[in-house]
Structure 1
Amino acid sequence: MSNFSRLSASVMTVPERVVHARSISTELGDIPVITDTSRGGPLRNSLRAWKAYDLSASHHLLLQDDIALAPDLIARMEAACAAHPDAILSGYASWHTSSGAAMRLAAVSGASWVETVGDGYFPTLAMVMPTAYIGEYVEFAERYRDVIKHDDHVVFWFLRQHGIRALISAPAMVEHRGIATAAGNHPDFPQHAACFVPESVQAATALLDDFAYCPYFYEGNADLIVRGQQGRHRMWERVPWVTRADELGIDPNQLRNIFDESADLRDHCELLEPAGIPREYLFSLWTSAFLLGTFSLRGREMNLPAAERSVIEAALETLAISGQGYLLVTHQDIVANRKGLATVAGSGFALARSQ
């Protein structure tokens, strides 16, 4: 079992982005910068960075260079290391992923951390590992240095094989800066956090775990990520929310009628449809927000603190983008109509919270 004593940190970069990395380094007190001069890719450079951890530290934070930092990053990470010393932590999840959906659920529920829900990779943009794991992880990951470019998949495989708890912060502690990523992510899907607020938030450690459902708006569908178990491994399955409507005690037809008969929502649809956002997409967005509000009420049962309004608004604002996927609805249309879409999401969320 690990105990927290000290958090060290470093930032990894490539030669053309050294300026960005040095800016992060300066912001955090001149932490080491590890540069991929051989251009071997994120996995190879991350292995060099992990090997260079401070031997006096109990935990090490490894940052990538294409990020902006929350002002309370170190304080929040240190508090989490003390509360969850055996866990591997991430301060980021992207807005379109299932882990991003879990981040939203935790954020609106009043939790500061949430267990991952299995994207097949672990977000490594701002990752903390107990130093007791680093040697074993490096040995494990070295096998894949000539197999795969990215480190996030390899970290996920390591977590799964060794049964190590993995947690994601809520809200995110870092945000993508909008510059091209070394990982080469798809240009039609810009990478941003599912929930990020630029101001300080409390360095709390409340954890949302053991939840049965997580709402996930993806490819225009209001889905649920449902917990399961296969042997000793926790499994997650994505299903249409209506397949679980009976056990949730929610009538899909009644929900549709509420949406269709709302004068306010009808007005928003009439504004958004000509702008490239179809009514059915809006209904699924509204339904997903309703489910998010419904499941967030569990936070009260767990005696979690009330979520800050700015955090709730940040989580709801990215919900519409989460649903894009490979659809005719474009990222540009969603961004251009972000405020109207956030209003639609806020309506569904508020309805659930009022019941």
Structure 2
Amino acid sequence: MTAALISSAVMTHPVRKEQAEALAARLGLGGLAMDPDPDGPPSALRTALVAWAARTAAAGHHVVVQDDVAAPAELLELVTGSVARFPDEALIFYTNWHARNGAAARLAALAGAGWVRAVPEEFAPTLAICLPVRTADAFRVYARDSAERHDDELMAAFLRTQGRSGLLAVPNVVEHIGTSSINGHAAQGVRLAACPVGAADARPLLDHGWVLEELDWLPYMRYGEGYLRPVGHERDADPRRHLRWPEALPPTGLTEGRLWDAVRRYRPEDAAAEVGRLFGAAFADELWIHCLLLGRQAVDAARRPAARSASPRPAGAAGARVRAAALSTVGPAGLPPERRLGVTPEQSALMTGYAESAVRCGGLLLGPAGLGVAH
């Protein structure tokens, strides 16, 4: 697969034209896909349809990048290698740090995977996405008469009709910048990548890392509280509803008592007290339990056949840095939106170490209750 067979476009609005031009020039991307009705009601889909129509005749794949991102100069090179490996997939190179898909990428990073199948019922992150041209053309047909204004929601709905959600790149080489939103997402606060790393660390995982296809149950946080996505939640009558972890815990085989016993036995008291002082005792509890469950699921995922048969090449320093990146975002991402912007580097480091202490204990939850963690 050569770069000439991948065309690209940058979605933008006239108010960000200069920013988009600079991005396209820096990354060697194709032309700008301008909002065709910039004075109309906000609609990312309106611009996305222009962007997906901008593919060249010779292209086998088309990349659409939004204007409010940062990415390495090697982005197209990384996309080209990923396309060669997964020619029939929708490939997604950014995941939002506080979404379910962000939690999926974080879990996969802790398990050592390079890619993870996206959560079917959640929006498909479209800040940087590559589709085979036949898929791009089919999406345009699917979307052209829709009243939906969010291209990420409609992309996920479209991929569900295709029977397979996108593949999320676990190492996020694309980062969201700024907090403003033409499409009305500013209330979500700082929206950053779940596992931000540079191109050098991303490349071995993208090229050789194993794919986590089945998520099983998924721990995630939102607005300061922990939740669980049950297995098969996409088939629920209301798949977008959020289930707090105590409510969703019974089918996992775990109990609240067992988790709280782990908290009492293994949580570092000094770190818990400091996190509680800064962000509230309830948040300190929720974050540690969330990371305990995340660690449990990461160990379980790493035992699967795909992980056992994976090439050893992605391991080592690059894999460790991707794992560290995942741990570095879990605390700030779990805070309510209004608290994220004010997190200092020292506070972030505190939460990272606190999160890691819980993740390290997660594997204890895989054994019988009497082995290390009791009811």
Whether the TM-score (by the shorter chain) exceeds 0.5 is yes
1:167 matched to 2:167? The reply is: yes
Q: Which has the higher helix share?
A: 2
2:361 to 336, 351, 355: 351
1:287 to 286, 289, 292: 289
One-letter amino acid of the structure 2 residue matched with residue 331 of structure 1: R
State the partner residue of 2:370: none
| TM-score normalized by the length of structure 2 | 0.81
- Could you tell me how far apart the structure 1 residues matched to 2:272 and 2:197 are? 28
Does the aligned pair in 1 maintain the 2:123–2:152 contact within 8 Å?
Answer: yes
State the partner residue of 1:36: 35
The alpha carbon displacement at 1:321 in A equals 3.1
CA-to-partner distance for each residue in 1:147-204, whole Å, 9 max, x for gaps?
2322112212211223244111112231011152322213452211111113522232
- Could you tell me how far apart the structure 2 residues matched to 1:278 and 1:182 are? 33
Using the TM superposition, name which of 214-223 and 127-136 deviates more.
Answer: 214-223
- Could you tell me how far apart the structure 1 residues matched to 2:90 and 2:101 are? 14
Using the TM superposition, name which of 120-129 and 40-49 deviates more.
Answer: 40-49
1:217 matched to 2:221? The reply is: yes
State the partner residue of 1:195: 195
Using the TM superposition, name which of 78-87 and 52-61 deviates more.
Answer: 78-87
The alpha carbon displacement at 1:92 in A equals 1.2
The alpha carbon displacement at 1:256 in A equals 2.2
1:186 matched to 2:186? The reply is: yes
Change (3 A) 1:288 1:192: same
State the partner residue of 1:24: 23
- Could you tell me how far apart the structure 2 residues matched to 1:164 and 1:241 are? 27
Does the aligned pair in 1 maintain the 2:7–2:55 contact within 8 Å?
Answer: yes
CA-to-partner distance for each residue in 1:258-286, whole Å, 9 max, x for gaps?
43355x722123323332x1222112211
CA RMSD of superposed structures (Å)? 3.0
Change (3 A) 1:59 1:255: same
How many residue pairs end up in the alignment? Answer: 346
- Could you tell me how far apart the structure 2 residues matched to 1:230 and 1:353 are? 27
The alpha carbon displacement at 1:100 in A equals 0.8
One-letter amino acid of the structure 1 residue matched with residue 130 of structure 2: V
Change (3 A) 1:76 1:30: closer
CA-to-partner distance for each residue in 1:117-140, whole Å, 9 max, x for gaps?
135421110011110122222122
Does the aligned pair in 1 maintain the 2:229–2:248 contact within 8 Å?
Answer: no
User: Which stretches in structure 1 are left out of the alignment for 5+ residues?
Assistant: none
State the partner residue of 1:315: 326
| TM-score normalized by the length of structure 1 | 0.86
Change (3 A) 1:30 1:224: closer
- Could you tell me how far apart the structure 2 residues matched to 1:160 and 1:208 are? 18
State the partner residue of 1:339: 349
- Could you tell me how far apart the structure 2 residues matched to 1:175 and 1:279 are? 31
CA-to-partner distance for each residue in 1:282-316, whole Å, 9 max, x for gaps?
12211211222221122243224547222112111
What SS is found at the alignment partner of 2:361?
helix
1:126 matched to 2:128? The reply is: yes
The alpha carbon displacement at 1:320 in A equals 2.0
Does the aligned pair in 2 maintain the 1:227–1:237 contact within 8 Å?
Answer: no
- Could you tell me how far apart the structure 2 residues matched to 1:269 and 1:176 are? 30
- Could you tell me how far apart the structure 2 residues matched to 1:125 and 1:169 are? 13
Change (3 A) 1:179 1:291: closer
The alpha carbon displacement at 1:109 in A equals 1.4
Change (3 A) 1:230 1:252: closer
One-letter amino acid of the structure 2 residue matched with residue 308 of structure 1: G
Q: Which has the higher strand share?
A: 1
- Could you tell me how far apart the structure 2 residues matched to 1:318 and 1:223 are? 17
Change (3 A) 1:106 1:75: farther
1:227 matched to 2:231? The reply is: yes
The alpha carbon displacement at 1:58 in A equals 0.9
Does the aligned pair in 1 maintain the 2:66–2:127 contact within 8 Å?
Answer: yes
One-letter amino acid of the structure 2 residue matched with residue 316 of structure 1: L
- Could you tell me how far apart the structure 1 residues matched to 2:240 and 2:74 are? 32
1:274 matched to 2:277? The reply is: yes
State the partner residue of 1:8: 7
- Could you tell me how far apart the structure 1 residues matched to 2:36 and 2:298 are? 46
User: Which stretches in structure 2 are left out of the alignment for 5+ residues?
Assistant: 366-375
CA-to-partner distance for each residue in 1:74-102, whole Å, 9 max, x for gaps?
23322322222222121111111111111
State the partner residue of 2:260: 256
What SS is found at the alignment partner of 1:308?
helix
- Could you tell me how far apart the structure 2 residues matched to 1:244 and 1:153 are? 25
- Could you tell me how far apart the structure 2 residues matched to 1:228 and 1:37 are? 39
One-letter amino acid of the structure 1 residue matched with residue 34 of structure 2: T
One-letter amino acid of the structure 2 residue matched with residue 352 of structure 1: G
Does the aligned pair in 1 maintain the 2:92–2:129 contact within 8 Å?
Answer: yes
